[in-house]
């Protein structure tokens, strides 16, 4: 009987616990992401990716210069090799002439080393040294020293090229990573919210942009690309990054610009914001990592980011640094 009471008490207690659990408020569903917070994070990732891409462009320009130097140094080294061999042959002939009439065993002892330093040391101990023309010996020593300098310079440049190529790979990996993170954030949003984020900061396309001279050709090209995609590293014909768009636009006017926003900042005279004219390039962020083209009425056309592509925006939509007038 006592056991039955205990068993009944246990059952009643269990039922009470189940009832309590049933009436407990369920944990709230995971909160929807705040659209402003997501936009801020996406914008930050896009900007970090663009910074890496512009560093990539700068490194590419530097790499071209280094490779040009390396090619020149290798050519110099080849010429120096020839000059060195010419003098070495003259020294060899001079030594052999000194030993004319001597036994073959004595001539056989005069072996000209291929290594410049070893050869110099060899000459200093040979009995024929005092009979060599001092001018010829000095010329040999000078050519050997010059060859060594060029060899060292070539090796330094080759090392710099290798280091820069490694940096290029790292910057490209950063671009890909940041873009992937941004796309992942956007994929978590509903289509309507995603569209709202991607459309922010986009202005109405003006029907007429006042311009004259070469600037008109650059503006016409840039405006014709509105709606095209943004792709890191692209320079047309159907996709662009920021400096790729301005580079190609001004190319239509016969003005060559480097594919780098920071390099473009040094491509012409700097213009005050109050003196902006259509066609001027405007630059953003510190260090500079974005460029657009002024089209008048406080507006720019630019390749914004992978979410919005080539669009028209306010000139003050980003942290303004300065402006340049190409050509």
Q: How much is the pLDDT for 28?
A: 45
Q: Are residues 169 and 313 in the same domain?
A: no
Q: Please indicate whether residue 85 or residue 231 has the higher confidence score (pLDDT).
A: 231
Q: CA-CA distances (angstroms) from residue 158 to 66, 76, 161, 243?
A: 8, 15, 5, 29
DSSP 131: G
Q: How confident is the model at residue 61 (pLDDT cuts 50, 70, 90)?
A: confident
Structural domain including 260 reads 203-324
What's the pLDDT tens digit per position in 102-127?
444 444 454 556 666 666 666 555 54
**Per-residue pLDDT at 216 exceeds 60:** yes
Band (178; pLDDT cuts 50, 70, 90):
confident
144 with 245, same domain: the answer is: no
pLDDT given for residue 106 in this prediction: 47
pLDDT of residue 200: 61
What three-state secondary structure class fits 144?
helix
State yes or no: pLDDT of 206 exceeds 70: no
Contact 91, 134 (CB under 8 A): no
**278 belongs to a structural domain:** yes
pLDDT at residue 247 tops 90: yes
Same domain, 40 and 183: yes
Please give the C-alpha separations between residue 321 and each of 258, 259, 285, 293, in angstroms, as whole numbers.
19, 19, 6, 13
216 in the same domain as 94: no
User: Given pLDDT bands bounded at 50, 70 and 90, which one contains residue 9?
Assistant: very low
How many Å apart are CA 312 and CA 303, to the nearest integer? 9
158 and 253 share one domain: no
This prediction has a pTM of: 0.59
Query: Does the pLDDT at position 274 exceed 80?
Result: yes
Per-residue pLDDT, 248: 98
Concerning whether 242 is annotated as a catalytic residue, the answer is yes
Catalytic residue among 47, 57, 259, 302: 302
**How is 222-256 classified by DSSP, letter by letter?**
HHHTTTPEE-TT-BSSSEE-HHHHHHHHHHTTT--
- Please give the order of strands across the beta sheet that includes 320-324: 270-271, 320-324, 281-284, 290-296, 299-303, 310-314
**24 occurs within a structural domain:** no
From 292, 309, 296, 314, select the one nearest 226 (Cα to Cα).
309
Determine, yes or no, domain membership for 195.
no
Phi, psi of 270 (to 5 degrees): -80, 140
| Shared-domain flag, residues 110 and 220 | no
Q: Which residue has the higher pLDDT, 278 or 75?
A: 278
* pLDDT at res. 307: 84
The more confidently predicted of residues 159 and 5 is 159
12 within a domain of the structure (yes/no): no
Look at the chain and report how many structural domains it folds into.
Answer: 2
Residue 308 pLDDT > 60:
yes
Residue 91, Cβ neighbours under 10 Å: how many? 19
As a whole number of Å, the end-to-end CA separation of the chain is 106
- Residue 4 domain-assigned (yes or no): no
Q: Which of 50-54, 177-181, 286-290 has the lowest mean pLDDT?
A: 177-181
Asked if the structure places residue 273 within a domain, the reply is: yes
| Same-domain status, 104 and 221 | no
* pLDDT at residue 254, rounded to an integer: 95
Q: Of 47, 57, 242, 259, which residue is the catalytic one?
A: 242
Structure tokens at 220: 């016409």
Question: Comparing 10 with 113, which gets the higher pLDDT?
Answer: 113
> What percent of the chain is modeled with pLDDT above 90?
32
**Residue 16: which pLDDT band, with cuts at 50, 70 and 90?**
very low
Considering the domain architecture, whether residues 101 and 234 belong to the same structural domain is answered as no
pLDDT (average), residues 40-57? 82
Maximal C-alpha separation, the chain: 137
What is the chain's length? Answer: 327
Can you give the C-alpha Rg of the chain in angstroms? 36
Average pLDDT, whole number, for the chain?
Answer: 76
259 classed as catalytic: no
Q: Quick one: average pLDDT of 135-161?
A: 73
- Give the model's confidence band at 70: pLDDT under 50 very low, under 70 low, under 90 confident, else very high: confident
pLDDT of 202 over the 70 cut: no
Domain closes at, from 160, 187, 214: 187
Q: Let me know if 290 is a catalytic residue.
A: yes
Average pLDDT over residues 220-248: 94
Q: Is residue 27 pLDDT above 70, yes or no?
A: no
């Amino acid at each position: 009987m006592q056991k039955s009471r205990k068993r009944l008490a246990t059952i009643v207690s269990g039922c009470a616990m189940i009832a309590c659990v049933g009436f407990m408020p369920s944990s709230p569903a995971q909160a929807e992401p705040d659209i402003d917070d997501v936009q801020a994070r996406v914008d930050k990732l896009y900007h970090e990716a663009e910074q890496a891409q512009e560093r990539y462009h700068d490194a590419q320009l530097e790499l071209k210069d280094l490779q040009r130097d390396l090619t020149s140094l290798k050519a110099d080294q080849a010429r120096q090799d020839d000059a060195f061999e010419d003098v070495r042959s003259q020294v060899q002939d001079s030594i052999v002439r000194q030993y004319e009439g001597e036994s073959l065993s004595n001539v056989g002892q005069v072996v000209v080393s291929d290594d410049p330093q070893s050869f110099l040391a060899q000459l200093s101990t040979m009995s024929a040294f005092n009979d060599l023309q001092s001018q010829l010996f000095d010329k040999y020593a000078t050519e050997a020293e010059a060859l060594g300098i060029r060899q060292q310079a070539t090796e330094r440049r080759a090392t710099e090229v290798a280091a820069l190529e490694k940096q290029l790979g790292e910057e490209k990996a950063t671009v890909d990573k940041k873009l992937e993170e941004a796309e992942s954030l956007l994929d978590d949003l509903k289509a309507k919210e995603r569209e709202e984020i991607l459309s922010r900061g986009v202005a109405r396309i003006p029907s007429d942009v006042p311009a004259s001279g070469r600037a008109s050709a650059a503006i016409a090209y840039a405006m014709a690309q509105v709606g095209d995609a943004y792709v890191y590293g692209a320079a047309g014909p159907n996709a662009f990054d920021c400096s790729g768009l301005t580079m190609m636009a001004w190319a239509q006017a016969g003005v060559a610009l480097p594919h780098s926003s920071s390099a473009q900042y040094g491509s012409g005279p700097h213009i005050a914001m109050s003196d902006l004219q259509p066609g001027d390039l405007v630059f953003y962020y510190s260090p500079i990592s974005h460029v657009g083209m002024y089209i008048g009425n406080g507006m720019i056309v630019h390749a914004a980011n992978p979410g919005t592509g080539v669009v028209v925006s306010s000139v003050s939509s980003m942290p303004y640094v300065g402006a340049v007038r190409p050509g």
